[in-house]
Amino acid sequence: MGWKTLDDMDLGGKRVLTRVDINVPMENGQITDATRIERIVPTVTDIRAKGGSPVLLAHFGRPKGQFVPEMSLEPLVPALEAAFGCPVTFVQRPSRDWIDTQAGDAVILVENTRFTSMEEANDPQMAQFLATLGDTFCNDAFSAAHRAHASTTGVAHLLPSCAGRLMAAELQALEAALSNPKRPVGAVVGGAKVSTKLDLLQNLVKKIDVLVIGGGMANTFLAAQGAQMGASLQEADLHDTARAIMDAAKDAGCTVILPSDGRVAREFKAGAVHEVIALNSDTVLESDQMVLDAGDASTAAIAEAFADLKTLIWNGPLGAFEIAPFDTATVAAAKAAAALTTSGNLITVAGGGDTVAALNQAGVPDEFTYISTAGGAFLEWMEGKELPGVAALMS
């Protein structure tokens, strides 16, 4: 694919500048989900096993170029030490002279890269400074690869560079899912609004065989075909766009699956009184009725479509999965995809914040082929956009 991995690098006796994503959620000073820390362990472990010393670069929160004490990386040191099984030395203002006084296999954590505006501006001066801190650059933060920052892109042009284990796994999974997939290939695209996934939909219909549209965005497509969707979330100004996407899919030979029925309620709350109503171009909902989930017939049709696929990409839920019973379709479809994956009949690649949460709720994350924790980067890759952090590894 044009980029090197840790296996291609001689790291013996070298300081390895390593961009990671440890932007973990915290409440009252405690980490509530350490997944991102756990996922960088293989890279840190392998660098040390090859005789290198990882110098970790990372951001935390959105300090907007200012020093914000609450966004310091220092509180993460105990969690990092527990994950790596070795000491981690934190430094606010590093220098190469100081780094070279540390042990040859030391793990060093540099303070939040976004405490200066030079980071997000990809300032050459900052990139050059960062390059002095290491002999080799390893990018293991796919989740930040869609940003051309000093610590993701600038420094990659100044040092011998490679992808870390997590970055390589992400790229290989996405390559297998979209660039060179086993066909037929399908995608589930859900969520609230078409407007946030226009580029994704327009790119996917040209590359895949089956597109399942769910969530609030399905309401926009149904309304574009003439359905009166009552109080359902939908974007009236995008009806022409929805029709154009349907036309593009038809021209490309991509089958689009919209909900044929839905769970309809008059209030948005857990356990709300609801009914299952057929959905088509002739549907007329009352002014206070809203579609909050796909119905059973829709879910069965989706599961049947999955059975004919070899590859499935998943981004977004099929309904308001946060509250029961409007998580029904998402959970059922996720379990259907998971069963096909574990039987060896389907490659499943999923990504996006809501997607990960929905699959966790369905209890199937370990049964999917690959789940990306990268939100924006995953989406932009699926949109067919070049990711600066990946492109820099290929130069």
- DSSP 3-state of 10: coil
Q: Is 353 a catalytic residue?
A: yes
Beta bridge partners of 276: 263
Q: Per the residue annotation, which of 61, 226, 271, 353 is the catalytic one? A: 353
Long-range pairs of 127-131 with CB within 8 A, sequence gap ≥ 24: 127/153, 127/154, 127/155, 127/157, 127/158, 128/158, 130/17, 130/57, 130/154, 130/155, 131/17, 131/155, 131/158, 131/159
Please report the DSSP string for 334-375 in residue order. Answer: HHHHHHHHHTTS-EEEEESHHHHHHHHHHT-GGGSSEEE--S
- The residue with tokens 């709350």 is 269
Separation between Cα atoms, residue 67 and residue 116, nearest integer Å: 7
Q: Is 376 a catalytic residue?
A: yes
Residue in 285, 356, 331 with CA at minimum distance from that of residue 143: 356
- Torsion-angle region of residue 292: left (phi > 0), alpha (psi -120 to 50) or beta? alpha
Specify whether the CB–CB gap between 392 and 157 falls below 8 A: yes
Q: Per the residue annotation, which of 51, 65, 375, 376 is the catalytic one? A: 376
Specify whether the CB–CB gap between 304 and 260 falls below 8 A: no
Q: How far is CA 379 from the centre of its chain?
A: 7
Number of Cβ within a 10 Å radius of residue 346: 23
Phi, psi of 324 (to 5 degrees): -75, 145
- DSSP 3-state of 260: coil
Q: Is 226 a catalytic residue?
A: no
Residue 193 burial by Cβ neighbours in a 10 Å radius (0-12, 13-18, 19+):
middle
The two three-digit tokens of residue 51, written as one number? 């005789």
Separation between Cα atoms, residue 238 and residue 128, nearest integer Å: 45
Q: Per the residue annotation, which of 4, 50, 96, 193 is the catalytic one? A: 193
Q: Per the residue annotation, which of 36, 48, 114, 197 is the catalytic one? A: 36
Q: Is 36 a catalytic residue?
A: yes
Catalytic residues: 36, 193, 353, 376
